[in-house]
Structure formats: structure tokens, C-alpha cells
Amino acid sequence: MRFEIVEREYKVSEHNSTVCGYPGRDFDWSLFDWVGGKLYKSGWLDGYYSPEPWVDNGRIAHNCQYLHVAYNFEEAGVIYRVRPNECMYAGEVYRGHLIVRQQAIKKDDGWYWRLELRRNRGNQ
């Protein structure tokens, strides 16, 4: 039996992500700062820039990544951990294919979860 590795990308959203372990749908996604670098000119953050989202490789599962993203930063100054739903972790079967690796990828139009899937090619 032979296998091939295929890649699939899914835009990070409230439907396929969790925030600090809670369902993504529980959060107002318009309050996430997916770009970073915004200069604040008032309040306790006067003169500070919001951080850019960054990728972390650890502590959720082997071969998996997640994001740290500023949330409601001007008012609360918090950074939340955004990760894919557990069904998208390496070692899980997603839509009939074994996930070999999951990555967080930045593109021009936003962040994506990239899944490397092992697909059965049959007996060839």
C-alpha cells in the first residue's frame, strides 16, 4: 500500500479554532488584531504598539503549531492563544486522512491552518 502527502489549508476562523481552550465561537473575532503594529495614542497604552501575532510550536501536540494574538488590546491588553480544533492535530484523522503535521501559516489575506495529510493511494 502506498501513501502520498497532500496539503490542505483552512483559513483560521471561529469555526475551526479554539481560544485558550474555549470554542472560537465564544469570542468576538473583530477584536483580534491579526496584523499587529497598531500605535496607541491614549490611555495606559499611550505610545505602545500592539504585538504582531506569532507562532508557537509547543505544548499542544507533537507536530502542531498555534498562534498568540492580541485581543481587545487597547482596553484589556491581553494576548490569547489561538489553536486549531483538536480534530486538526497531528495524529488525528481529518476528513478520512491521517494528519502528519499541522502548521500556522501567514498569507497576504490572513492566517491559515495548513494540514499535511497522508492519503492512501492503494496497491500500486
Report yes or no on whether pTM surpasses 0.85. Answer: yes
9 vs 48, higher pLDDT: 9
Place of cell 491614549: 42
Domain span at residue 99?
2-122
Q: Which of 24-33, 59-68, 93-102 has the lowest mean pLDDT?
A: 59-68
Average pLDDT over residues 87-102: 92
Count: domains in the chain: 1
pLDDT band at 85 (very low <50, low <70, confident <90, very high): very high
Average pLDDT over residues 93-118: 95
Contact criterion met (CB below 8 Å) for 97 and 119: yes
Q: Can you give the pLDDT at residue 1?
A: 61
C-alpha angle with apex 124: 122 to 115, nearest 5 degrees? 45
